[in-house]
Amino acid sequence: MLRMKVKVVGVDRETMLPVVILTDEEERSYVPLVIGPAEANAIAIVLENVEVSRPLTHDLFLNSILALGAKVDRVELTDLTDDVYYAELHLIQSGKTLRIDARPSDAIALALRSGAPIYVDDKVVAHAITVPRDDDDEMEQFRSFLENLSPDDFRKEN
């Protein structure tokens, strides 16, 4: 398992589909996931520190977990089969670990709200976009592009 973080969430300019990009701490491996618009919004709200007046669905779910005496220990992207990603929530309640099947986008939204780490299984990381560390000028430009990536880069231009 490789610990990853959310680099950015936005809309792909070519497909106009929402995407979230996970990266490792060194930002050498990137896992792009196409997600739904509601989940993209749920992730973006946390990343952009947007205050909401009432709990959204992922807030409600986290509040329910906490009210039941559990906590989110971690989320894991566990598999990639036929271009579909799979994830699990790992909750701890009364010293017992509960594993719950989840869509990756929901798991990521919950991890961000709870402060839980996000892990990606090695077999999923094997399909990640890897940026090698060498002296290639084109790769250096790509790394520079990725380092400066922001949600605005995914917004549709009129």
β-bridge pairing 118-120 and 2-11: antiparallel
Distance of CA 154 to the CA centre of its chain: 16
Q: What does the pLDDT look like over 38-88, one tens digit per residue?
A: 999 999 999 999 999 999 999 999 999 999 999 999 999 999 999 899 999
Q: Are 59 and 110 in contact (CB under 8 A)?
A: no
First-last CA distance in the chain = 41
Q: Are 44 and 58 in contact (CB under 8 A)?
A: no
pTM confidence score = 0.81
Q: What does the pLDDT look like over 98-134, one tens digit per residue?
A: 999 999 999 999 999 999 999 999 999 888 887 666 5
Query: Which amino acid is present at 36?
Result: G
CA angle 121, 138, 130 (to 5 degrees): 5
DSSP for 87-120 reads: EEEEEEETTEEEEEEE-HHHHHHHHHHHT--EEE
Cα 52 to Cα 84: distance, rounded to the nearest angstrom = 31
Mean pLDDT, residues 8-30: 90
Q: Encoding tokens for residue 38?
A: 């509601």
User: For the chain, which domains are there?
Assistant: 2-149 (3.10.690.10)
